[in-house]
């Protein structure tokens, strides 16, 4: 039996086109670097992502396919995305030798993630025994055209003499999240034509079904069922002639109980359609969906291949993590590319990642903002649990919007000790960050329906929380005992970023209510009643707006990061030269509270978000003060891209470039040494911000976007699109 006879595993012309700026390559198989490669070679389609582990699997790999919304309970961290059964699994035998890159000899190895077409490819020559040699080419993709469809193909070519090729294609549920098991087996089935697997999460009862078919071309193949427990599959056996490629295509369809009442039937029907269409058609449809994405969202940087590739890789990685048809999911801090932060969603998305989508893929931005709308009930519960009215968003959010930040974590130096994690209790700026992102989306898109039904109601309900949370002290208001963006200091009072955001938030809430009265008086009335927006409450908001403490010295322009920051101890920076660890690790978590050292942009973040609202003196004074005492290399990965943006604002594009490249290398070059745990989503989104808000100098004014470009010396040309109020504009900047 043979399907997909037109399978074409590699297309040399395509692969070589502009490879330096479109392809992330791995020139050699290095078992010690695999976890890093797995992360950066992650592919996906907005429904799921799959790390770049190998089809034949290796004992130490960190295999993962994470599907949006498939949460299951875990101890301490509450919930995590359950690692889905491995759809890529293939075992290959050549004349009885099981393919394994650690056995025999490997030559001509190359692996590449082609960003332009969303395909991961590998080719190599394998010599398992003296008289046997084969060429193997693999290719896989998760279709961006149809998010339920996945495909992997392998082409085996015996080099000197005919060989018996056996390929076992499996749906492998023997998967884990760093040792934790999430699945119960519901059913499995295999025959020569199709294999199916149905599993269910142990605690949350979510069902996932996969169905697979195998097609073979280039030789007469015998297909049979392969039915090991938890791992249904199909085995193909064929005699391949020397020099004649045998091509095996595994197509897989996946559905869950989140998107179908009968996920198995849906998966079976889909894989049948895929088989009828054939591999080449699926591949073409995927490629053309990617072409559409790049046409709208690519950023072209001429004169710097490394920066160009890094930006494309970053955009690719955030795109594959952005839910395409799902309003109940958003991009996690480590995208869907690793177990870091367990799939939880942070402010990273609203402040660092969403602008890219808002300006180039507004429908996707809307999905993720809707996620915050749908999780309002959790935010209401959090506010109520803290004895406040309104809604307070979780610092780490998952399915319901309830707080899922673990309360305890492991000590850096001594993993037998636990340290208290306070962010879930007191890092509260997230509610204003979400309001900021919704408002930005509205300003850019002009989507009044969104503002009326979603944005304004969310801004108002979270404003109710702020009104309660601000503490009256005479005629001033304080926000005490919090953590600002700089997490090296906890339990601080009046963090400038937070207070300023809150003031902006309350003002925006007032404007939103006025706007609603004008555009939707019925809706405004209902909301006023539901949220108890009495005249007294609105007067109280005005008082908070006027009285909220903001330590901004009009003489010097300096803004104190929080009360007492200027009195902290100075760090003896020369003593730490050459360090390879974060200042928090070196000083100790508790101790770093006492020093003038920042994990990431805090006042600088505030300046970036409000930009021209601060005068040049303020920019200069705070730039001069805070940048030298920030832990750029080993603090938060959120820092460098934002400092690149800020440095442009300070008219220093070449210095901006240094910060920019630190962000660009966070994943591709693994400069922080932790890329194995997943892509740094905020750093990736921040690269787009640095190019567009920083180097191109995009500002949103009353009259629409304006630009104030300043490129690094060696950049010749930058081109990108933005969509403003439904109209796409192409921006071209050259020296
Ligand atoms: C950063 C936070 C960020 C979180 C998730 C922390 O290290 O300090 O700002 O939200 O990581 O990326």
The residue whose CA is least distant from atom 7 of ligand 1 is 636
Instruction: Kindly give the number of the ligand 1 atom that is closest to the alpha carbon of 680.
Output: 12
Tens digit of each residue's pLDDT (9 = 90 or more) over 52-78: 999 999 999 999 999 999 999 999 999
Mean pLDDT computed over every residue of the chain: 96
Residue 171 falls inside a structural domain:
yes
How far is C-alpha 594 from the geometric centre of its chain's CA atoms?
Answer: 33
Average pLDDT over residues 397-421: 93
Using alpha carbons, select from 453, 455, 433 the residue that is nearest to residue 444.
455
- Name the residue range of residue 96's domain: 12-261
- How confident is the model at residue 115, as a pLDDT? 98
Average pLDDT over residues 506-530: 98
- How confident is the model at residue 414, as a pLDDT? 87
> Catalytic residue among 55, 350, 403, 487, which?
487
- How confident is the model at residue 163, as a pLDDT? 97
Residue 686 falls inside a structural domain:
no
The residue whose CA is least distant from atom 12 of ligand 1 is 333
- How confident is the model at residue 12, as a pLDDT? 41
DSSP 76: T
Report residue 322: phi and psi, to 5°: -90, 120
Kindly report the pTM of this predicted structure: 0.97
CA of 537 to the centre of ligand 1 (A): 33
- How confident is the model at residue 689, as a pLDDT? 98
CATH, residue 40: 2.70.98.40
Task: For ligand 1, pick from 77, 331, 346, 680 the residue to mutate: most ligand atoms within 8 Å of CB.
Answer: 346
- How confident is the model at residue 10, as a pLDDT? 43
CB-based pocket (< 6 A), ligand 1: 333, 346-348, 485, 487, 599-600, 636, 638, 682
Residue 349 falls inside a structural domain:
no
Statement: residue 3 has pLDDT above 50: no
Statement: residue 11 has pLDDT above 70: no
CA of 503 to the centre of ligand 1 (A): 23
How many domains are there within the chain? 1
Residue 122 falls inside a structural domain:
yes
Statement: residue 16 has pLDDT above 80: no
At residue 20's C-alpha, the angle toward residues 18 and 23, to 5°, is 90
CA of 441 to the centre of ligand 1 (A): 23
Average pLDDT over residues 404-416: 91
Tens digit of each residue's pLDDT (9 = 90 or more) over 282-333: 999 999 999 999 999 999 999 999 999 999 999 999 999 999 999 999 999 9
- How confident is the model at residue 8, as a pLDDT? 35
The residue whose CA is least distant from atom 8 of ligand 1 is 636
Task: For ligand 1, pick from 680, 682, 683 the residue to mutate: most ligand atoms within 8 Å of CB.
Answer: 682
Contact 102, 34 (CB under 8 A): no
Residue 212 falls inside a structural domain:
yes
Comparing 216-230, 404-418, 631-645, the range with the smallest average pLDDT is 404-418
Distance separating alpha carbons of residues 403 and 388, to the nearest angstrom: 15
Contact 117, 19 (CB under 8 A): no
Tens digit of each residue's pLDDT (9 = 90 or more) over 452-487: 999 999 999 999 999 999 999 999 999 999 999 999
Statement: residue 14 has pLDDT above 70: no
What band does 6 get if pLDDT is binned at 50, 70 and 90? Answer: very low
13: exposed, middle or buried (Cβ count in 10 Å: 0-12, 13-18, 19+): exposed
The residue whose CA is least distant from atom 1 of ligand 1 is 636
The residue whose CA is least distant from atom 3 of ligand 1 is 348
Task: For ligand 1, pick from 318, 333, 498 the residue to mutate: most ligand atoms within 8 Å of CB.
Answer: 333
Instruction: Kindly give the number of the ligand 1 atom that is closest to the alpha carbon of 600.
Output: 8
H or E element: which one contains 622?
helix 616-626
CA of 638 to the centre of ligand 1 (A): 7
Distance separating alpha carbons of residues 674 and 589, to the nearest angstrom: 19
Average pLDDT over residues 433-438: 99
CA of 434 to the centre of ligand 1 (A): 15
487 is catalytic: yes
Statement: residue 2 has pLDDT above 50: no
CA of 394 to the centre of ligand 1 (A): 14
Tens digit of each residue's pLDDT (9 = 90 or more) over 565-595: 999 999 999 999 999 999 999 999 999 999 9
CA of 636 to the centre of ligand 1 (A): 6
Statement: residue 1 has pLDDT above 80: no
Tens digit of each residue's pLDDT (9 = 90 or more) over 322-370: 999 999 999 999 999 999 999 999 999 999 999 999 999 999 999 999 9
Sign of CA dihedral 11, 14, 19, 22: negative
CA of 231 to the centre of ligand 1 (A): 37
Task: For ligand 1, pick from 347, 405, 485, 487 the residue to mutate: most ligand atoms within 8 Å of CB.
Answer: 487
Using alpha carbons, select from 429, 357, 457 the residue that is nearest to residue 609.
429
Instruction: Kindly give the number of the ligand 1 atom that is closest to the alpha carbon of 395.
Output: 10
């Amino acid at each position: 039996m043979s399907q997909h006879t037109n399978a074409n595993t590699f297309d040399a012309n395509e692969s070589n086109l502009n490879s330096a700026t479109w392809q992330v390559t791995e020139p050699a198989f290095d078992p010690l670097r695999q976890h890093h490669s797995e992360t950066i070679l992650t592919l996906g389609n907005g429904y799921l992502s799959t790390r770049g582990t190998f089809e034949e699997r290796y004992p130490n790999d960190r295999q993962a396919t994470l599907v949006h919304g498939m949460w299951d309970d875990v101890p301490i961290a509450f919930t995590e995305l359950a690692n889905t059964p491995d759809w890529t699994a293939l075992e290959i035998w050549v004349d009885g030798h099981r393919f394994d890159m650690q056995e025999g000899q490997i030559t001509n190895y190359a692996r590449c993630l082609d960003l332009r077409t969303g395909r991961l490819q590998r080719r190599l020559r394998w010599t398992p025994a003296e008289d046997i040699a084969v060429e193997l080419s693999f290719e896989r993709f998760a279709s961006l055209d149809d998010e339920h469809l996945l495909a992997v193909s392998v082409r085996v070519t015996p080099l000197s003499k005919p060989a018996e090729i056996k390929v076992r294609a499996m749906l492998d549920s023997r998967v884990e999240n760093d040792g934790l098991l999430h699945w119960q087996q519901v059913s499995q089935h295999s025959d020569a034509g199709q294999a199916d697997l149905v599993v269910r999460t142990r605690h949350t009862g979510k069902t996932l079904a996969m169905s697979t078919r195998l097609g073979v071309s280039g030789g007469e193949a015998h297909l049979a069922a392969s039915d090991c427990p938890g791992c249904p599959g199909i085995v193909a056996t064929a005699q391949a002639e020397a020099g004649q490629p045998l091509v095996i295509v595994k197509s897989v369809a996946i559905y869950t109980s989140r998107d179908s009442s009968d996920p198995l039937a849906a998966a079976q029907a889909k894989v049948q359609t895929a088989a009828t269409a054939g591999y080449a058609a699926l591949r073409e449809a995927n490629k053309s969906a990617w072409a559409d994405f790049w046409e709208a969202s690519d950023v072209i940087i001429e004169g710097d291949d490394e920066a160009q590739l890094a930006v494309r890789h970053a955009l690719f990685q955030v795109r594959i993590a952005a839910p395409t048809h799902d309003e109940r999911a958003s991009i996690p801090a480590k995208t869907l590319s690793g177990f870091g932060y367990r799939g939880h969603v942070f402010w990273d998305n609203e402040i660092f990642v969403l602008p890219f989508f808002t300006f180039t893929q507004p429908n996707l931005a809307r999905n993720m903002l809707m996620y915050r709308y749908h999780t309002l009930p959790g935010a209401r519960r959090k506010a109520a649990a803290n004895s406040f009215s309104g809604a307070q968003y979780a610092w780490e959010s998952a399915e319901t919007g309830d707080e899922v930040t673990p309360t305890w974590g492991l000590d850096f130096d001594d993993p037998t000790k636990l340290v208290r994690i306070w962010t879930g209790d007191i890092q509260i700026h997230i509610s204003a960050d979400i309001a900021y992102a919704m408002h930005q989306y509205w300003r850019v898109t002009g989507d009044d329906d969104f503002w009326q039904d979603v944005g304004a109601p969310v801004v108002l309900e979270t404003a109710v929380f702020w009104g309660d949370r601000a503490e009256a002290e005479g005629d001033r208001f304080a926000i005490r005992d919090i953590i600002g963006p700089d997490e090296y200091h906890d339990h601080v009072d009046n963090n400038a970023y937070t207070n300023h955001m809150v003031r902006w938030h309350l003002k925006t809430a007032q404007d939103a209510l006025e706007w609603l009265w004008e555009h939707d008086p019925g809706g405004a009335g209902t909301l006023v009643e539901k949220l108890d927006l009495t005249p007294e409450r609105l007067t109280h908001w005005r008082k908070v707006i006027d009285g909220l403490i903001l330590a901004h010295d009009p003489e010097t322009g300096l803004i104190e990061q929080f009360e007492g920051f200027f009195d902290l101890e100075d760090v003896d920076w020369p003593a730490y030269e050459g360090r390879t660890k974060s200042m928090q690790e070196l000083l100790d978590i508790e101790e770093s509270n006492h020093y003038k050292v920042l994990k990431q942009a805090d006042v600088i973040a505030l300046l970036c978000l409000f930009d021209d609202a601060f005068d040049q003196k303020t920019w200069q004074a705070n730039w001069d003060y805070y940048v030298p005492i920030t832990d750029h290399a080993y603090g938060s990965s959120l820092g460098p891209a934002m400092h690149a943006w800020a440095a442009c604002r300070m008219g220093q594009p070449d210095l901006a470039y240094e910060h920019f490249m630190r962000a660009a290398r966070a994943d591709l070059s693994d400069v922080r040494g932790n890329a194995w745990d997943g892509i740094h989503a905020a750093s990736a989104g921040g690269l787009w911000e640095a190019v567009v808000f920083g180097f191109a100098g995009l500002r949103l004014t009353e009259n629409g976007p304006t630009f104030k470009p300043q490129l690094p010396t060696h950049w010749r040309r930058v081109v990108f699109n933005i969509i403003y109020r439904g109209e796409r504009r192409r921006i071209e900047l050259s020296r």
